[in-house]
Structure 1
């Protein structure tokens, strides 16, 4: 395993002479193996090692035991160790995040704090080929595009992943051969967590019944898509330089971009957003798909809000990205993430949406409520106003239907249509609030966890 990791580091140019490597170590098998391997390789590479450990405050004494083990292991290997304590549950609640996402943010904040002040710093994580396979499959189930299916890269910015060269079994065998002990995290067996369910239930079934080398196949797919994504991004950059112009407070894309291949159009939109706001945080696949619809189908003078206050306007010969807000049409408002569980206010419509996670099915139907199978519903959910060309697959209806036609069939007055909230996810419209639920994630006899969405109206 040592030689495979060394060759992978050299092939992918992951480590340079003089690097300061911050090794993320939880105390589990993967990160402990990573630390041991890097300590052995340090003799051949002139780099400096440090260990970073985060106690998330989630597992009580087990977490304290892991922290003590990492400190002892680091001292035994002669590597400085830095530990950080954080109440991740409180952080997640404060920022409206899932616990797993909150933990990731906390960890990387700490890693980057440790990196500050050091030159040539790299953060090293213990992702391996099994993680790669799980990530590709998980993103596939979520409906991700090629950007998600390309999985985990060997290097992303200052983060490197040398163990992508090896499988979990190779790591386990290496630890056994070297008589290396490690900690075990009981939460890794909790199949309520999607990644665990994929690792412990879905992948073994796929290996047994469909392809006994499914993990290798998924990793190979990721590698191919990484190369193809690189090609698309390089081509998009070339196209972007031809069709983009910055003037005043706006970034303008010529409508001639619509002649390009759809893959390049999506990539150019992402480049435009990143150029304008400096990052792609909050931008999801559906945002880019909506921009593509706007480019190809929406009329001139259409407008679309994006996360973080960025607005897009369709003019006669360009699409303008700006932070200026101009004469928003009645009912058009900034898309926002639904708080689940929680309450999401939509002051523009003088209403709010309450989301509850329940263990019991609905007792009666109500037009101001919608019920879903929580475990089957792709998250996150968002709410926005209606856009031209919107379609929904109504519950109990074969095929999709234009929202405009649904409004006509339901005899919804023209002046009321802008005030109907559109709840949606990466798969499409989930609920037209107070009007019609889609066929996505319907409640069934096997449903165990229910999501209830309900409308409430603010008093004048």
Structure 2
């Protein structure tokens, strides 16, 4: 049987991830995956340094992780870099979720370390089971084929050299080689979707098929090959059906070969080149069939407009009101540099009524669909949660000392003509949860 060390070296060589001339920055949390990665790289004779992030979110646990990683780096005789992040304050400042804020902070720091100390690659300790979990997360979120290919082995200078190994194989290596590691207590919490899949869904599937991990590895490889094939085909179709002029792209659907599934081709064109999501493209295609000239659809920094059977894609103008309709059951919508995620639940599922500003929980039965999402306007008013009187949005933003650039990015979510949520800041008191509430719409704003 091939040892994990031999398989590790073979995987790096087969995928051309790094050579022994590279300097590799290892991102080590203290968990079993990254501690095993540190052992494997040093055992195989690579030149490495260790970067550890302390996000200061788990009190003493976070500090103990930091101590362990530093001790191991000293034991191996490799450089150790540590940074403590004010993650909670950053979440409050930006409105990002914990996962989004932590991801942005750590990757910016890894890039800075690489430039300062001459590291040519950054190694992340994701493995095969992580990729399988990502498949199910994206499947449940309604992603396209691209999201079902799992986690990439390499993106630019970021490499994932453990993608060949399962969580079980990594743990067995750690135990056999007496590698110390720490278990993050949050990994046992089922409030996170990934943990629900890891702890609930996948064990049940393994009861049906014990070889599930090996089976999914093959599935993900085939899905990745299929996406690469599609990418090549879309490049050819793009050259035939898209015209570029003065920074604006026009897609001509009638030029798409009738033998091809038109909606799928339009999705691939809009998603790969401009970042439009599946549910947005579905709505656009429905409007296209209805001949709804002038209807607009938004991605992060692009707007697609239907114009007499064509799709015109352009950058979002600063004065664009970004008006879009949010249908009942929608999963997400864009507002400037953020995305709103919609979750529909029963009042019994709501454990915490006091939520941070980037989350809104409103009485779903009071809403009139479709909801409207747009930039705020002069004259807009609402009744801020906890108050009884009306307040102009402009006055609320002044009182909150919101800067001019932030004001320009401020959105409101409306039910009919009434503001439900001054996005990222305050819900309207008329839509708050009460003792009579039965159904809840939970909306989360994340910066993208």
TM over 0.5: yes
Indicate if the aligned counterparts of 1:20 and 1:118 stay in contact, CA closer than 8 A: no
Q: Distance in 1 between matches of 2:284 and 2:212?
A: 35
Indicate if the aligned counterparts of 1:23 and 1:35 stay in contact, CA closer than 8 A: yes
Aligned-pair distance for 1:187? 1.5
Structure 1 residue aligned with 2:298: 305
Q: Distance in 1 between matches of 2:47 and 2:210?
A: 40
Aligned-pair distance for 1:14? 1.2
Structure 1 residue aligned with 2:107: 108
Q: Distance in 2 between matches of 1:227 and 1:75?
A: 42
Aligned-pair distance for 1:256? 3.1
Aligned-pair distance for 1:243? 2.3
Q: Distance in 1 between matches of 2:282 and 2:22?
A: 40
Decide whether aligned partners of structure 1 residues 248 and 452 sit closer, same or farther in structure 2, where only a CA change above 3 A counts: closer
Correspondent of 1:250 among 241, 248, 251: 248
Report matched runs for 1:250-289 at 5 Å. 250-259=248-257, 260-261=260-261, 262-273=263-274, 280=275, 283-289=276-282
Long gaps (5+) in structure 2: 326-332, 343-354, 375-413, 422-429, 431-436, 444-448
Q: Distance in 2 between matches of 1:245 and 1:368?
A: 41
Correspondent of 2:210 among 203, 212, 221: 212
Aligned-pair distance for 1:214? 2.3
Decide whether aligned partners of structure 1 residues 212 and 90 sit closer, same or farther in structure 2, where only a CA change above 3 A counts: same
Decide whether aligned partners of structure 1 residues 122 and 383 sit closer, same or farther in structure 2, where only a CA change above 3 A counts: farther
Q: How many equivalent residue pairs?
A: 362
Q: Distance in 2 between matches of 1:254 and 1:7?
A: 47
Aligned-pair distance for 1:295? 4.3
Decide whether aligned partners of structure 1 residues 178 and 326 sit closer, same or farther in structure 2, where only a CA change above 3 A counts: closer
Indicate if the aligned counterparts of 2:56 and 2:85 stay in contact, CA closer than 8 A: yes
Partner secondary structure for residue 7 of structure 1:
helix
Structure 2 residue aligned with 1:321: 313
Partner secondary structure for residue 166 of structure 1:
coil
Decide whether aligned partners of structure 1 residues 103 and 335 sit closer, same or farther in structure 2, where only a CA change above 3 A counts: closer
Structure 2 residue aligned with 1:34: 37
Report Cα offsets for 1:411-435 as digits up to 9, x if no partner: xxxxx99858999xxxxxxxxxx9x
Pair 1:12 & 2:19 matched: no
Structure 2 residue aligned with 1:355: 360
Structure 1 length normalisation: TM-score?
A: 0.69
Report Cα offsets for 1:266-286 as digits up to 9, x if no partner: 22112431xxxxxx4xx4322
Report matched runs for 1:111-260 at 5 Å. 111-117=110-116, 121-208=120-207, 210-259=208-257, 260=260
Report Cα offsets for 1:194-249 as digits up to 9, x if no partner: 212221222112222x2222233223222111111111111111221222232113
Long gaps (5+) in structure 1: 274-279, 345-353, 371-381, 386-415, 424-433, 435-442, 445-449, 455-460
Q: Distance in 2 between matches of 1:242 and 1:38?
A: 47
Report Cα offsets for 1:345-402 as digits up to 9, x if no partner: xxxxxxxxx8238xxxx8xx953489xxxxxxxxxxx9648xxxxxxxxxxxxxxxxx
Q: Distance in 1 between matches of 2:233 and 2:88?
A: 42
Structure 1 residue aligned with 2:73: 74
Report Cα offsets for 1:64-119 as digits up to 9, x if no partner: 11111111111111111111111222222322222122222222111111122566
Structure 2 residue aligned with 1:349: none
Q: Distance in 1 between matches of 2:36 and 2:240?
A: 48
Aligned-pair distance for 1:53? 0.6
Partner secondary structure for residue 163 of structure 2:
helix
Q: Distance in 2 between matches of 1:326 and 1:173?
A: 55
Partner secondary structure for residue 164 of structure 1:
coil
Structure 2 length normalisation: TM-score?
A: 0.71
Q: Distance in 2 between matches of 1:326 and 1:96?
A: 22
Partner secondary structure for residue 165 of structure 1:
coil
Indicate if the aligned counterparts of 2:133 and 2:197 stay in contact, CA closer than 8 A: yes
